């Protein structure tokens, strides 16, 4: 299966639409959301195209293709708008024997890995993308953010397909790849 991993949408409809163009264009079959879906967060400014109801509507239309975890800006009120669960801190997907750990990054991250073993750790939260293999051989991928990229980065997301993680911009530019 081919997955798009996306974090920190923060209610921006145009940012989500650009990401979903890549989702469809690359033939992804599942969208993995790493939290901070609707709420822009008090530390951020207002994102371009802030439309949490529009974001919810677009995502609800594809709810059967979505798995999601809770970010630090997500709440029970957000869950009331979404037709797929978002309130767990992390989840594990096993794809052809490869363990993909999904989390937002405020509880588990590259500095505080979950106790459960994983081949790939996906997280967001910091809005700073990274992709590398750590000392244990775990692929670590921070997907960055399509809405509020930090550190001078472009808006980003990740794709996982058959043992390969690709980090790219929402314009389709590949920034990095890592194979298991």
Question: At 125, which CATH number?
Answer: 3.60.21.10
pLDDT in tens, 129-158: 999 999 999 999 999 999 999 999 999 999
pLDDT at 44: 85
Q: How long a stretch of residues is the chain?
A: 180
pLDDT band at 115 (very low <50, low <70, confident <90, very high): confident
The predicted model gives 74-90 an average pLDDT of: 97
pLDDT band at 19 (very low <50, low <70, confident <90, very high): very high
pLDDT at 116: 85
Domain that holds residue 24: 2-179
Domain count, the chain: 1
Contact 165, 174 (CB under 8 A): no
Residue with tokens 């670590």: 140
pLDDT at 41: 85
Q: 16-30, 48-62, 103-117, 129-143 — which is least confidently predicted? A: 103-117
Beta-bridge mates of residue 123: 142
The predicted model gives 78-92 an average pLDDT of: 97
Contact 127, 148 (CB under 8 A): yes
Contact 88, 69 (CB under 8 A): yes
């Amino acid at each position: 299966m081919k997955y798009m991993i996306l974090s920190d949408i923060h209610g921006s409809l145009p940012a989500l639409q650009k990401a979903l163009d890549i989702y469809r264009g690359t033939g992804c079959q599942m969208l993995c959301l790493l939290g901070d879906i609707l709420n822009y967060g008090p530390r951020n400014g207002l994102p371009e195209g802030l439309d949490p109801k529009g974001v919810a509507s677009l995502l609800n239309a594809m709810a059967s293709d979505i798995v999601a975890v809770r970010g630090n800006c997500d709440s029970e009120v957000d869950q009331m708008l979404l037709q797929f669960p978002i309130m767990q801190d992390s989840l594990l997907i096993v794809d052809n024997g490869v363990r993909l750990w999904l989390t937002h990054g405020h509880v588990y991250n590259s500095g505080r890995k979950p106790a459960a073993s994983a081949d790939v750790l996906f997280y967001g939260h910091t809005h700073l993308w990274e992709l590398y293999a750590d000392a244990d051989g775990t692929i670590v991928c921070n997907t960055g953010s399509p809405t509020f990229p930090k550190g001078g980065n472009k808006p980003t997301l990740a794709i996982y397909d058959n043992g390969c993680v690709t980090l790219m911009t929402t314009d389709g530019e590949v920034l990095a790849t890592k194979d298991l």
